[in-house]
Amino acid sequence: MDSVLDALNARGFIAQETDSEGGREYLRSPAACYIGFDPTADSLHVGSLVPILSLVHMQRHGHRPIVLLGGGTGLVGDPSGKTEMRKMLSIEQIQCNARALQKQLSKFLDFSDGKALFLNNADWLVGLPYIDFLRDIGCHFSVNRMLTAESYKLRLETGLSFIEFNYMLLQAYDFLHLSESNNCFLQMGGNDQWGNIVAGIELIRRKTGKSAYGVTFPLMTTASGAKMGKSAAGAVWLDAEKTSPFDFYQYWVNSDDLDVARFLSMYTFLPLEEVEAVKGLEGQDLNVCKSVLAFEVTSLVHGQEQALAAYEAACSVFGRREIDPMLLRSSAIPRAGRDRAEAVPTTAIDATRLEVGVPVVDLLVETGLCASRSAARRLIQQGGAYAGEKRISDLDASIGAGDLHEGGLILKAGKKKIHRICV
RNA sequence: GGAGAGGUUCCCAAGUGGCCAAAGGGAGCAGACUGUAAAUCUGCCGGCGAUGCCUUCGGAGGUUCGAAUCCUCCCCUCUCCA
């Protein structure tokens, strides 16, 4: 059987490997691998999907993924790829975030019977005695060498504090620790983690003489160069409370043409042969593929139920287009079905207010479609406000109970930002 | 600790007493064109009960009819020196 590394490579997951041959040898039999997630927020976002899914691939190939929560390293802060120091988070905040991330990550992997593992580096980092650590670990690091690391270079221009400078040592120590405690000799991570991963490999070699391996993922950007997971409303979170499944679905539907095939291979588990067929498509045919992409990713993150609802809601708002049964045929996306508007993010409006009539400007703000009343006015003046299919041109227009159909009404700000109100 | 440079609206960056809610660029938003894409063109882009009013130019005071612009003190960042 092909190595999981070949599979990952074919799907575009691999940016760099420290030792391609050695890594493959290591993975010939079931082995452990780990990725660290620092709890800097109470939810992961689209940017973490690549590492997460790589672990899923690992598990599917019979290996044992270790999810390392950075309860300890999060207290320090990774300067890699950052232009300035991140705000320091309190210990309580970190712990709270770590719990939230654990809950989120547990949906993707099977943690039963030790098939995958959750560990928290706070368990071994927080209590480290400073002097001992310097003597045992610190002595193996050359500052001269560290300063040449790409991850520090950027910061050398703008400023790098000592606490952040230590991050590399802590991550290297994590790897050493995991190699000894869990027989884990493979670390993966974003390409910005290269320096930290290599530092760990070298530390393991110096301390124990053993070989360890590293794999990094490409830094994901969209075809237009934007970072993954940024939308008009901010980051696209994996938490349904922070980004509704419908908005999450929409994020993927709005992918750039040039990204569709790449995203299908990285963010879904559809067979590569099927994804290959997408590459020749253009125009409306390609557009349909975006629905499949969105459906599949939403399924992975929020479950098929939610994905279905989002898909049908999108159909009801934007219209349905036939999906060729042979196109990406492994996808469970419905090839025929009913439209349902309910999955559009909805805000309930008090019935008594609707009796009198609620100004559209107010509704636009209350639903979050506009940031301020001024913005709402501007939107109306520019002709971007819709109630149902009707464009609203009057600044003083208001919505009454009679405007609702079957208890709801779709409000649109522009063509794509959509919110539903109901009684 | 010393010397110098600097902190402007989401980001970069002009502005050095009234013409400044503050140039320009980027990002973003809307409209047109489309395919819920890209590119392009046009408009918008602090807030509000809106031909006016309020809040903003690191912070706190002060000078002045009037300050982002002048003065004082403080905070923060960078560079060089110790």
For chain A, residues with pLDDT lower than 50 are: none
The nt closest to A288 (CA vs C1′) is B35
Q: Chain B bases under 7 Å from protein CB?
A: 27-32, 34-39, 43-50, 77-79
Separation of alpha carbons A423 and A408, rounded Å = 7
* Residues pairing with A278 in the sheet: none
8 Å CB contact between A260 and A254:
no
Separation of alpha carbons A412 and A415, rounded Å = 7
The nt closest to A310 (CA vs C1′) is B36
* Residues pairing with A231 in the sheet: A234
**Mean pLDDT of all residues belonging to chain A:** 90
Whether A318 sits with its Cβ under 7 A from any strand B atom: the answer reads yes
Angle, CA A247 vertex, CA A257 and CA A347 arms, to 5°: 150
pLDDT score of A232: 55
- Antiparallel, parallel or unpaired: β A408-413 and A417-422: antiparallel
Separation of alpha carbons A207 and A138, rounded Å = 12
Cβ-proximal residues to A122 (8 Å cutoff; 6+ apart), any chain: A69, A71, A72, A75, A94, A95, A98
pLDDT score of A402: 87
Separation of alpha carbons A218 and A402, rounded Å = 53
pLDDT score of A84: 67
Cα–Cα nearest to A331, from A275, A376, A374, A383 = A275
Whether A148 sits with its Cβ under 7 A from any strand B atom: the answer reads no
Whether A153 sits with its Cβ under 7 A from any strand B atom: the answer reads no
- Antiparallel, parallel or unpaired: β A408-413 and A385-387: antiparallel
Q: Is A235 helix (H, G, I), strand (E, B) or coil?
A: strand
pLDDT score of A231: 61
Q: Is A289 helix (H, G, I), strand (E, B) or coil?
A: helix
Q: Is A321 helix (H, G, I), strand (E, B) or coil?
A: coil
- Please enumerate, as own/partner, the contacts of A398-402 that have beta carbons within 8 Å and a separation of 24 or more: A398/A357, A398/A358, A398/A359, A398/A360, A399/A354, A399/A357, A399/A358, A399/A360, A399/A363, A400/A354, A400/A355, A400/A356, A400/A357, A400/A358, A401/A351, A401/A354, A401/A355
Whether A165 sits with its Cβ under 7 A from any strand B atom: the answer reads no
pLDDT score of A85: 67
Whether pTM > 0.95 for this model: the answer is no
Q: For A289-309, what is each residue's pLDDT tens digit? A: 999 999 999 999 999 999 999
ipTM score = 0.87
The nt closest to A83 (CA vs C1′) is B11
8 Å CB contact between A199 and A152:
no
Taking the CA of residue A161 and the C1' sugar atom of nucleotide B82, their distance in angstroms comes to: 21
The stretches of A11-149 forming alpha helices (DSSP H) are: 20-26, 49-60, 91-105, 122-125, 130-136, 143-147
Separation of alpha carbons A416 and A253, rounded Å = 11
If you search the block for the tokens 């071994």, which residue do you land on? Answer: A124
Q: Which two tokens stand for residue A338?
A: 């009913």
Q: Which residue is nearest to nucleotide B10 (CA to C1')?
A: A234
Separation of alpha carbons A73 and A40, rounded Å = 10
Separation of alpha carbons A323 and A291, rounded Å = 9
Q: What separation in angstroms does the CA of A289 have from each of A255, A271, A323, A333?
A: 10, 14, 8, 11
Separation of alpha carbons A386 and A373, rounded Å = 16
Separation of alpha carbons A261 and A242, rounded Å = 27
Cβ-proximal residues to A92 (8 Å cutoff; 6+ apart), any chain: none
The nt closest to A260 (CA vs C1′) is B37
The nt closest to A315 (CA vs C1′) is B36
Q: Which two tokens stand for residue A18?
A: 């420290």
CA A384, A386, A392, A398 torsion-angle sign: negative
Separation of alpha carbons A131 and A121, rounded Å = 19
Helix, strand, coil percentages (3-state) for chain A, rounded to 5, are: 50, 15, 35
